[in-house]
Amino acid sequence: MKVDTDLVISAASLPGLVILKLFAWVDRKHEKRDAPDILKILADYTDAGNEDRLYTEQLPLLEAAGFDVTIAGAQLLGKDARRIASEETVASVTKLLADPDLKQELLNQLVQAAPRSDESFAGHCALLLDTFQRGFTEDDGRN
């Protein structure tokens, strides 16, 4: 069997995937299937090859997060997502996250997506979502 070495498979980056998942969540939030993916990306973005960035080019962001790499990673994800998004997408995601009812519904599903749902974990999920939102909505002049 001959293998085609010119075969290219396109895949979404994690920042692109989180944007897609947010839009999918809005469209089918009653299915509750996108929140677990959003939580996973928010919580693990640092571990997806971004730790060195936090300790070098994004050190001020890490310092502001009290050296919590998970929280800093969520904010970096927001910044990276904004950087790749069109103006229209930035406006749509910003509007979605600014809607207190939608944001609370998303937060509720993020908490329910994990086996742990105590008050401490709920606070952690809220902090992840808030820092992602801050990273996404703060224009760093590169977009």
pLDDT in tens, 72-129: 999 999 999 999 999 999 999 999 999 999 999 999 999 998 887 788 899 999 999 9
**pLDDT score recorded for residue 143:** 41
**pLDDT score recorded for residue 100:** 96
Mean pLDDT of all residues belonging to the chain: 91
The CA dihedral of 67, 70, 75, 76, to the nearest 10 degrees, is 90
- Cut 0.75: pTM above it: yes
Report residue 62: phi and psi, to 5°.
Answer: -65, -40
Helices 35-44, 14-28: axis angle to 10 degrees equals 150
Which two structure tokens, joined as six digits, stand for 24? 């999918």
Which two structure tokens, joined as six digits, stand for 102? 């939608």
- What percentage of the chain has pLDDT greater than the value 70? 91
Position 12 confidence tier, pLDDT thresholds 50, 70, 90: confident
**pLDDT score recorded for residue 57:** 95
